[in-house]
């Protein structure tokens, strides 16, 4: 699944005016797809952006508003998992002989 396919699949949960998922690492998209199977069961759940900024993941949702601290903890747990995928992808990229970071 691509990021575009992910955003299409979960378009009902994407906040209006936002672009959604912007990470293209296949394993990260697969992880998010599995995570969203549970998240979309939370009444009122929406997400706005899932991206890499300065090679760290950012996951923006309304879980903090809905669930308070637990929601913010869920957001952070997702970011930490995505950080792992970003770090692995960067290590693979650097070992291929490229010095520039594409992320």
Phi, psi torsion values for 51, nearest 5 degrees: -150, 175
Domain ranges of the chain: 3-95
The yes-or-no verdict on residue 103 having pLDDT over 70 is no
Place 89 in a pLDDT band, splitting at 50, 70 and 90: confident
Q: Over the stretch 39-83, which tens digit does the pLDDT of each residue have? A: 999 999 999 999 998 889 999 999 999 999 999 999 999 999 999
Q: Over the stretch 2-36, which tens digit does the pLDDT of each residue have? A: 999 999 999 999 999 999 999 999 999 999 999 99
pLDDT of residue 98: 61
Of the two residues 99 and 79, the one the predictor is more confident about is 79
With beta carbons less than 8 A apart as the criterion, state whether 46 and 14 touch.
yes
């Amino acid at each position: 699944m691509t990021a575009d396919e992910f955003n299409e699949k979960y378009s009902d949960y994407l906040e209006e005016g936002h672009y959604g998922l912007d990470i293209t690492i296949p394993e990260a998209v697969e992880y998010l797809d599995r995570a969203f199977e549970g998240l979309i069961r939370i009444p009122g759940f929406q997400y706005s952006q899932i991206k890499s900024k300065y090679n760290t993941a950012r996951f923006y949702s309304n879980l903090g508003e809905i669930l308070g601290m637990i929601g913010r903890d869920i957001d952070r747990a997702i970011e930490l998992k995505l950080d792992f995928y970003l770090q692995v992808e960067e290590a693979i990229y650097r070992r291929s002989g490229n010095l520039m970071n594409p992320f």
